[in-house]
Amino acid sequence: MTLRMTLVALMLVTTTPALADGHATVESGLSYGPRPAWLISQMADSDLKTRLQSCAGQIPIRTDFSIGHRGAPLMFPEHTVESNVAAAQMGAGILECDVTFTKDHQLVCRHAQNDLHTTTDILVTGLADTCVTPFSPVSGETPASAECRTSEITLAEFLTLDPKMDAAAGDATTAEAYQGGIAAYRTSLYGAGATIMTHADSIKLFKSLGAKFTPELKAPSVEMPHDGFSQADYAQKLIDEYKAAGVPASDVWAQSFDLSDILYWIENEPEFGAQAVYLDDRYDAEDEDEGLIDPMDATTFKPTMQELADMGVNYIAPPLWMLVTVENGGIVPSVYATEAKAAGLNLIAWSLERSGPLNDGGGWYYQSIKDVTDNDGVTYELVDVLAQDVGVAGIFSDWPATVTYYANCMGL
C-alpha cells in the first residue's frame, strides 16, 4: 500500500462527523486505556488522588490541554501516522509535527534534520551512502555511531524509508544491530508498517482526526541559506502549507527554539505569529532561584519575560522542570513560572511521559523536583501543580491519555 493510500485508509477509519461547533459527535470512541488508572493507583493517599479516582467512569473528551508530543511515541514510532492516530484516540486536541526539510526543500516530519539513523531504517537501505557520517561499529570505549540527514536526500527518497522507534544500539558491530537499543520502558510491538509523513500529510491527517496543530520549525543541520533556501523561506513555507490547506491561524501554534523565527512570524504572518510558541532553552537554574531571569546567559543574550512580551511573544514553552521547584517537601511554581505569568505570557510545558519509571528521581525532565520524585504517582502531582498553580495552557506528553484524563476530570 502506498503512503497516500495508507493515509486515506486511516483517515476513513478515524474520522468522525463534526457538529457545527467543531466538536466530534463520537467522543465516546476515544479511550484512556489502562495507564491513567495505574498512575493514580501509585499515588500516595490525598485529596487529589480521591478526586482523580472519582472520575474513573467519565467518558473521554478531546481537549486542547492535551498535546501529543510527536504523536504517542511512548509506544509508537514518532511522527508517524500510527503514532498520531493513537494520540488522537487518547483525546489529544493538538498534535505535533516537528518540521525539517529535504535536499529538494520539501517539508517533512522528523524531530531533527540529522536523526534518520536513529528514527528510520536508512542505514540498512541503499540510501546509507548518503549519510554524512557512515555507520561505525563499536570500538573499545567508543560506541557505534552514524549521522544521516534529510537534507542529503530528496522527498521521493525520504518516502521510501521505514520509520522505527527512536533508538540506537551503542554496542552494535553491524548496521543491522544498530537498529536496536530501544529503552526498556518503550516497545517495538507497534513499529511494523509504520507510515512516515511529510508536513503536508500531517496537516491532512490531523484535520481528519479533529485535532489542531503545533508544528515545530527545527534548526537546520546545514548552513543556511541552503542552495538558495533561506531561514525566512523555511519559516514562511511552514506557514504557507497551512494556508494552502485552509487551516485557520487560530488552530496553529507554530514553535521554534530560534527567537528570530518567532519574530519573523509576528512581523510577516501576524495572525499565526499571535500564537507562535517560543521554546525557551534556559536550562541553567539549579536551586530555589531556578528559572530566575538573567539577561546574560553565558555567551548569548536572553530577553527577560517582559522583553519577550514587549516583542509580541504571547506563548513560551520550557521543559517541565523549569516551571516547578520544591518547597517544604511539596511541588510549587518556580520563579521562572511566576515571572512569565507576571509578564502576561502563556505557558506550555514539555514533555510528560518521556522519562520512564519515576522511582529514581525522574531524570532530566524532573531535575528540579528529584527529591520528591520517587514513584510514578508523582506524574499526577506534577500535572496538578502545572495546571492549577502554574496555570499552563497545555502539556505535551508522549502518552496523551494521561493528560486527557486529568483535564477531563478537572473540567479544563
Arithmetic mean of pLDDT, 350-373: 95
247, three cell numbers: 487551516
pLDDT above 80: residue 4: no
Rounded Cα gap, residues 256 and 20, in angstroms: 33
CB 172 within 8 A of CB 144: yes
User: Residue with C-alpha cell 485508509?
Assistant: 9
Q: Which residue has the higher pLDDT, 273 or 360?
A: 273
pLDDT above 60: residue 289: no
pTM, to two decimals: 0.92
Residue range 94-142, pLDDT digits in tens: 999 999 999 999 999 999 999 999 999 999 999 999 999 999 999 999 9
| Three-state SS sequence of the chain | CCHHHHHHHHHHHHCCCECCCCCECCHHHCCCCCHHHHHHHCCCCCHHHHHHHCCCCCCCCCEEEEEECCCCCCCCCCCEHHHHHHHHHCCEEEECCEEEECCCCCEEECCCCCCHHHHECHHHCHHHHHCCEEEECCECCECCEEECCHHHCCHHHHCCCCECCCCCCCCCCCHHHHCCCCCCCCCCCCCCCCCECEHHHHHHHHHHCCCEECCEECCCCCCCCECCECHHHHHHHHHHHHHHCCCCHHHECCEECCHHHHHHHHHHCHHHHCCCEECCCCCCCCCCCCCCCCCEECCEECCCHHHHHHCCCCEECCEHHHHEEEECCEEEECHHHHHHHHCCCEEEEEEECCCCCCCCCCCHHHHHHHHHCCCCCHHHHHHHHHHHHHCCCEEEECCCHHHHHHHHHHCC
319, three cell numbers: 521543559
The whole-angstrom distance between residue 221's C-alpha and the CA centroid of its chain comes to 19
Residue range 201-232, pLDDT digits in tens: 999 999 999 999 999 999 999 999 999 999 99
Arithmetic mean of pLDDT, 152-168: 98
pLDDT above 70: residue 22: no
CB 164 within 8 A of CB 191: yes
Handedness of CA 261, 263, 265, 267 (dihedral sign): negative
Rounded Cα gap, residues 341 and 392, in angstroms: 9
Nearest to 313 by CA among 281, 275, 339: 275
Rounded Cα gap, residues 99 and 199, in angstroms: 7
Q: Residue length, the chain?
A: 412
The pLDDT mean for the chain works out to 91
CB 92 within 8 A of CB 74: no
- At residue 397's C-alpha, the angle toward residues 311 and 346, to 5°, is 25
Rounded Cα gap, residues 306 and 188, in angstroms: 45
Instruction: Please report, for residues 98, 108, 177, 214, 408, the alpha-carbon distance to residue 200 in angstroms, rounded to integers and kept in the order given.
Output: 12, 8, 33, 13, 30
pLDDT above 60: residue 403: yes
Arithmetic mean of pLDDT, 24-38: 78
CB 15 within 8 A of CB 88: no
What is the β-pairing status of strands 98-101 and 394-397? unpaired
Structural domains of the chain, with CATH: 3-103+194-410 (3.20.20.190), 107-178 (no CATH)
List all residues 6 or more positions away from 142 whose beta carbon is below 8 Å from its beta carbon: none
100, three cell numbers: 525539517
**Residue 24: pLDDT band with limits 50, 70, 90:** very low
Arithmetic mean of pLDDT, 278-303: 57
Percent of residues, the chain, with pLDDT higher than 70 = 89
